[in-house]
Each structure stands twice: as structure tokens, then as C-alpha cells.
Chains A and B, each alone.
Chain A
Amino acid sequence: MTQKQLQLSKKSKQLTPKQIRNSREKVIEFILFLAAFSSVATTIAILYILIDESVLFFQEVSIVEFLTGTQWTPLFADAQYGILPLLSGTLVTSTVAMFVAIPLGTIAAIYLSEFAHPKLREIVKPWLEVLAAIPTVVYGYFALLVVTPILQSIFPMLPGFNMLSAGLVMGLMIIPFVSSISEDAMRSVPVGLREGSYAMGATRLQTALKVVFPSAISGISAAYILAVSRAVGETMIVTVAAGLQPQLTWNPFDQAATITAYIVQVSLGDIPHGTLEYHTIFAAGLTLVLMTLVLNIIGHFLAKRYREIY
């Protein structure tokens, strides 16, 4: 055996550089996989915590009472556990917000996608995004201390806390959600469809409303649904401005607590760990997660559809 071959055979007993390199690559890939899987672990942890604590809640309160009761007074001596008042608060504020965000967001999206000069679009879009970047507690301040007094000068009987101003301000915050997803959907409609429409003598508005909008409808409805989900989960605006009194009412001029506001209210007090009051916030949270989960899944599939067609 020559010297060289001896060296080679010695090396092969240890790891060759190639083997070292390959195993290092494998280890790195595994670490990266673990990082990516941590998001799945987060979801599992969320569901586990919420369900685990809610089970303890439902051992003492029947699901029927929870879903059909019209009184939510867990912190009173005569405790009642009906989620309906919190649901009505959540639905009313979200509906008011949608009345603002959907029309304004859609018009903004049509304008940005079909009318605006590309340069103008580049300037305007970051500004519109700022609406979503402002901390929600600041929006709460706006709703309680600026918008409510203005509304009170129009409707003198409006109480200091009301769902109307919370909903209106929340709608303003959600405009960029609606507009940016809808705009993406509309811009992914092939130019050929637009040109066909222009060739028939249609104006930009006719093309936008009768060709582009219907073609992008699944993406646009995804935008609406994700906006609703966002409104349902919004917390600080309603906590600050809509009041903390659970009340079964459909009148936006009333004050009422939402699911999210209730969770904050309980967290601010010193509720001992492990009591029934402590479990109520997890039951309320589970309700919230189930609502937004259904909305998000519908939105996800609608958004996926528009990507597949073109």
C-alpha cells in the first residue's frame, strides 16, 4: 500500500468531509423543520388551553344554558351564564363596522385597481395601510373622546358608551383590510378580459363593475369575510368605547359588552386562578375562536379559488 492509500483508508474510518457535510445539512434541515412546526404547535396549544379550561366550565354550566341564556352575569351573586348578550354586542359592533368598511373599502379598491395612475397608487397605498397600523387602543380613545361627543351633538340621547361610535371607528380601521385584499383580487383578473370589454365600447367604470368585479368576486368576498373576522376579534376599541355592561340588544345606540371586552374586563380584575369566573373567559375565548375559525376557513378557500381560476 502506498502512503497515499494508507491515508485514505485511515480517513474512511472517520467521517469523510462529504459525510460531515451531509449530516450537517440534515441537522440544519431538521432544525428548520422544527421551527416551521412551532406554528402548528402554537395552534395545538391554543386549542388545548381553551378546550381544557372550557371543559371545566361546562362541567358546572350546561352547554344549553350557555348557548340560549339571555343573561350574562358571572361576576354577580346571582350568576347567569348565557352568552347571547355578549354575542349580540359582538354582532352589532361588527355590523356597524362592516357598513363603513365594505362600501368605502370596495370603492377604494376599485379606484386603486382600475382608475388610479400607478404612481398615485404607490403613494396612496402606504397611507391607507397606516389606518391598520395605528394601535387599537388609540382608536378606542378616538371613539370614546372624539367620535362619541360629535355623535352626541347629532343624537342628544346617545349614552357616553355606545356601540355606534365603537363600530364606526372600527370600520375606519378595517378599510385597508377590505381594500388591499379586494384590490389584489381585482388586479389578478387578466388584462385580456378588460381589453375585451373596452373593445366593446365600455367605459372604465362599466368594465370595473360588470367585468372585473364579478370575475374577482370570490377574492372580494374573501376580503369581506376576513374583515368580519377581524371585527369580531377586535378588542380595545369596543372595551374602551362600547361599555362593559352585557346586554341583549340589537340597537347600536345602546351600550353593550362584546365577547372580547368581557375577557379584558375579567383580566383587569383579580380573578383567582381556577375559579368558575376564571374559566368563563376561556369559554368565551373558545366561542370567539370557533367564530373566527369558521370565517377564516371560508375566507381562505374563497381566496384560494380566485388564485386557481386565473
Chain B
Amino acid sequence: MTDSNLQEIRTELNRRKKVDQLFAIVGFLVILFSILILVGLTLQMAISGIYRITPDFFLSFPSRKPEEAGILSAWVGTTLVMFVTAIISVPLGVASGIYLEEYSRKNWIADLIEINVTNLAGVPSIVYGLLALGLFVYILNLGESILAAGLTLALLILPIVIVTTREALRAIPNSLREAAYALGASKWQMIWDHILPYSFGSILTGVIIGLSRAIGETAPVITIGALTFIAFLPDSPFKGEFPFISLAWLQAPFTVMPIQMFNWVSRPEAEFIANAAAAGTVLILMTLTMNTIAVYLRYWFRRGIKW
């Protein structure tokens, strides 16, 4: 090999290494850029809405006068709907996950359920709204109620809960199952006493992520007919006399945070836009808090366990 050849190869190699490093920088910038755009947009919104975020904003009903309007009915509605969603989706999702991971044999029913769960995760959220409109609101006659909305969102986040439950169960080593069997535990005793407690953290993470998605869902709740102007609260779930708990709130009409925000965004007046920005900031804080808790929980539970 001649010297000039060697020289050529060296310059070529240097060029390639430079392109390589250039790409490393570009890749990093792309990620930084995407995140910074989001941060910028969020800050812009927070700044234009921050002056509206006062205690009164949380304690007032929506109003025709933008400076008096607040999100009381919206956050109460969101809390109640999320409660129903969690009550339904957690047992159903965790049970499905346990069946698919621990019980199901490799047959066509298992395959069908599996493909189906994957597919449900990809169904657009508004389609769940149409399902709810046809099934819950009219066929089951639940009306445009908190119960109907909670059921809808529960179905919507069910795939998330199922998938995370399965992942959590799969992460537990088989030796633990065998140890339980060796001591004479039945399958359910093994799952209930050993597998579930160990996977609790990961399942909880999935549930929180699912709920944080449900909090921001607007389209399916609009479809079942959540009202945008609610100037009253549903009946309190707690009562002074026996049996202390009332379920009347389940049938109440309601609004939720994202719908309240949508209503304000679609108005032309600048004052309402400021309200929308304030509601959006609160909404982002809610979802970010839940996501942060989820990420932290995942980290915290993983740290303690070394298989």
C-alpha cells in the first residue's frame, strides 16, 4: 500500500468520524428541541393564565363573566369520574392480566384475547365515546352521567392496566412461584400471597399512568354528552344519616377539566382564553404530577428488589 493511499484512507476515516460525531450532536439536539418546544409552549400558556389561578378560580362555578368563572364543577367532576374509572378498571384490568399471564394456555382463545387487547389499545378514543353513547347512554339507559363517563374511561384505559399488569407479573422470577408450590400453596394462594404483593409497585405505576391518560381525555366524554356549563355540584357521596354513603352522584350530569378548558378555548373573548390557559396549566400540573409519581414509584420499587 502506498503512502498516498494510506493518506486517503486516513482522511476518509476522519471525515466519517466527523459525520458520526455530527450525528450524535444532531440526535441530541432533536430530542432537546422537542422537549424544549413543549416546555416553551407550556410556559407561554402558564404565563398567560397564571393571574387567573387564585383560590377563587378553584371555588367558583363557570360563569358568563370570565373574571368570575372558575373550575369548581370541573375538578369535582374529574375527581368523581376518576374514582369510578379506577374502581372499575383496576380489578378488571388486574384480573385480566393475571389470567393472561398465569392461567391461559396457549390456545386460540388466549391468542384472540391477546390480539384483541393490543388492538383495543389502538382504537381511537372517540370510538369509545361512540360505544358509550350507543351502549351506556341509550341501551343501558345510564344517561349523560358520571357513571357512564367513568365506565367509558375505564374501558379506555383497560388495555394500559392489562399490559402493565402482565409486564409486572412477567418480571417475577419463576423460582418464587415454584417455592410457593413446594410449600403446598395452591395456584391462587401463590398468586394472591406472593406474586401480587411483589408486583404491587409496578401494577400501581401502570394504574397511575392509565388514570393520568384518562384525566386528559376529552373526546369520548364530549361524545356521551358531558355538558360544558354546569353551575352546581352533584350530591355529596357522604351523608349525615345511615347508611352514610349515597350513590345519587353517579347519575348526576357533570363536566370535567378538559371539557371546561375546551369550552373556554373555543370562545373568542381574550378573558376566556386566559381562563383556558389557567385550566390548561392546572390540567398539565395534574398529569405531570401523576406521571412523576409513577416514574418515581417505578424507580423506588425496582431499587428495593434485586432478583
Residues of B whose CB lies within 8 Å of any CB of A are 13, 16-17, 19-20, 23-24, 26-28, 30-31, 33-35, 37-38, 41-42, 44-45, 91-92, 95-96, 98-100, 103-104, 112-113, 115-120, 122-131, 133-135, 138, 155, 158-159, 162, 186-188, 209, 212-213, 215-219, 222-225, 228, 258, 261-262, 265-266, 273, 276-277, 280, 283-284, 287-288, 291, 295
Contact = CB atoms under 8 A, between A and B. Distances in A.
Interface stretch (A80-88, A108-116, A186-194): A108-116
- The binding surface of chain A is classed by DSSP as helix
A46 B34 CA distance: 35
Contact of A28 (B133, B188, B218, B266): B188
A202 to B, nearest CB: 8
Given A127-B35, A133-B291, A267 B222 contact: yes
A35 B100 CA distance: 10
Nearest to A106: B30
Contacts of B113: 36-37, 39-40
Given A50-B134, A205-B20, A273-B138, 9 more contacts: A32-B99, A33-B103, A39-B116, A131-B35, A135-B215, A135-B217, A137-B258, A240-B262, A264-B126
Interface in A219-269: 226, 229-230, 232-236, 239-240, 260, 263-264, 267-268
11 contacts: A29-B187, A35-B92, A38-B92, A108-B30, A111-B30, A126-B291, A126-B295, A135-B217, A146-B41, A233-B125, A263-B223
Contacts, number: 254
Interface stretch (A1-9, A63-71, A151-159, A289-297): A289-297
Contacts of B103: 29, 32-33
A136 interface: yes
Given A40-B116, A133-B213, A285-B130, A260 B219 contact: yes
A145 B265 contact: yes
Residue in B91, B273, B276 whose Cβ sees the most chain A Cβ within 10 Å: B276
Contacts of A288: 124, 126-127
A135 B100 contact: no
Contacts of B34: 104, 108, 128, 131, 172, 175
B144 to A, nearest CB: 10
A43 B261 contact: no
A77 interface: no
Contacts of A307: none
A37 to B, nearest CB: 7
B104 A36 contact: yes
A289 B123 contact: yes
A75 interface: no
A59 interface: no
Contacts of A273: 138
B262 A236 contact: yes
A38 B130 contact: no
A240 to B, nearest CB: 6
A25 B188 contact: yes
**3 closest residue pairs by CB, A with B:** A233-B124, A135-B216, A111-B27
A203 B17 contact: yes
A300 B115 contact: yes
Nearest to B257: A135
